[in-house]
A and B are shown apart, each in its own frame.
Chain A
Amino acid sequence: MSAVDCAIVGGGIVGAALADALSEAGMSVALVEARSIGTGTTACGMGHLVAMDDNAAELALTSWSVSLWRALAEGLPRAVEYDACGTLWLAADAEEMAAVDSKVSNYRAAGVRVEVLDAAALYEAEPALAPGLVGALRVPGDAVVYPPLAARTFALRAQARGARLMTGTPAQALRPGEVVLANGDVLAARHIVLAAGVASPSLCPGLPITPRKGHLLITRRGAPVVKHQLVELGYVKSAHGTEGASVAFNAQPRVTGQLLLGSSRQPGVGTREVEAAILERMLRRAADFLPGLDGMQALRAWTGLRPATPDGLPLLGPHPEQPWLWLACGHEGLGITTATGSARLVADQLLGRSSAIDARPYLPERFLGRTPRQVAHA
């Protein structure tokens, strides 16, 4: 069989979005997925499309990615459940309200529309919240999707342009110009992109990607409880602790009338079982914000493994020591959001196009170069 222009290994949201972008640019593409499209970490994520401002590089990639999603929204099938519900960042005290001010300037500088809500406006917007909150920051441009079908939609679009979807057999080894599958087949490709999420190091030893486990719980269908994706500002503190398990309140309205509750973070934990003690902490935290929580009907709880890098930014670009190998992995807890931007950045580099944002902060050479550059704040 003739060589494809590009073989993408891993059919999560990142690989699928890249297949979409490359096939749109006219490249011949093969998407190699061990199981089924969008059923890895992508099937476990909340699907919050969120502009995050922990650092400039994160904000640049997330805010651009959210706007790319918005541009796509119209063409997405209804089952992808794109819902422009916006985000409310909840301030529990004066200290967190003060953090809102710096967020406002960060977002505005990046061109992201925001509004500050005082307590009265917050409770008018979200009457189900516990009393005592002091206000919130509203980011109306944020949205929610159903990640597995979003990934599948990208893959099917690529397929409609001639891309090959090769699902059901994992890649076993990557070599210059070829992908060796577990069944012995060899796929010839001019370029190879590794987008295998948390499994990426197994195909490219030495990648700085480790699992960061998260728990979620969804309720049964019912009358909507909240209207926005709700995130506590304390999340910023807990999300970036690198030691031990942490939980934070994160609640999402689904178009089905369900409430999706998160979340927990367990750095370095790579098992999939639901841990009762972590779930308990997560629910206790959520009940602090939603007093009616204990009376709601839980339908299912599950976990997922975020592919975490030391600085929280993805690896997007050529492997500095193996220039035939490209990386699109390590998206941690933001890969649904940043799939659109990541796909564009990698596609631009592969095609020699210029990009809408500076691609340098995400280059793998920050960790993998023979002469590693100093990393900002790893």
Chain B
Amino acid sequence: MSAPKSEVVTLRINGRVVTVPEGTSVAAALGTGDALVSRADLSGRPRGPLCGMGVCFECRATVDGVPEVLTCLVPCREGQEVVTDA
């Protein structure tokens, strides 16, 4: 089965240009890099999304300048700037 014939959106994650199918969540887009990482824990070790549904708060990152956004609840949009702290 093929992915729905979708448009794509282009955003930047930590400066890296990423193109994903429309409808992709920001948390999912984080997984286009080397590792699925969203934040750092209190000792600076990397963390990534866990629950995918707005419960665990692990997926938080800065989206378009707004800090602590739960990226699993936010769809990617054209021109979005995503910054993770890890």
Contact = CB atoms under 8 A, between A and B. Distances in A.
Mutual binders A and B? yes
Interface of A: 220, 222, 297
A288 to B, nearest CB: 25
Interface string B3-40: 00000000000000000000000000000000000000
Contacts of B68: 220, 297
3 contacts: A220-B68, A222-B67, A297-B68
Contacts of B67: 222
A297 B67 CA distance: 10
Nearest to A220: B68
A220 B60 CA distance: 13
Main secondary structure of the interface of A (DSSP, over half): loop
Interface size class of B (residues with CB under 8 A): under 10
B38 to A, nearest CB: 16
Nearest to B68: A297
Contacts of A222: 67
B72 to A, nearest CB: 18
Nearest to B66: A295
A222 B67 CA distance: 10
B73 to A, nearest CB: 16
A220 B42 CA distance: 13
Nearest to B67: A222
A220 B70 CA distance: 14
Would you list the 3 A-B pairs with minimal beta carbon distance, nearest first? A297-B68, A220-B68, A222-B67
B9 to A, nearest CB: 28
Nearest to B57: A220
Contacts of A220: 68
A220 B67 CA distance: 12
Contacts of A297: 68
A79 to B, nearest CB: 13
A335 B68 CA distance: 36
Nearest to B42: A221
A134 B58 CA distance: 43
B66 to A, nearest CB: 10
A114 to B, nearest CB: 36
A222 B68 CA distance: 10
B71 to A, nearest CB: 16
Interface in B50-86: 67-68
B45 to A, nearest CB: 16
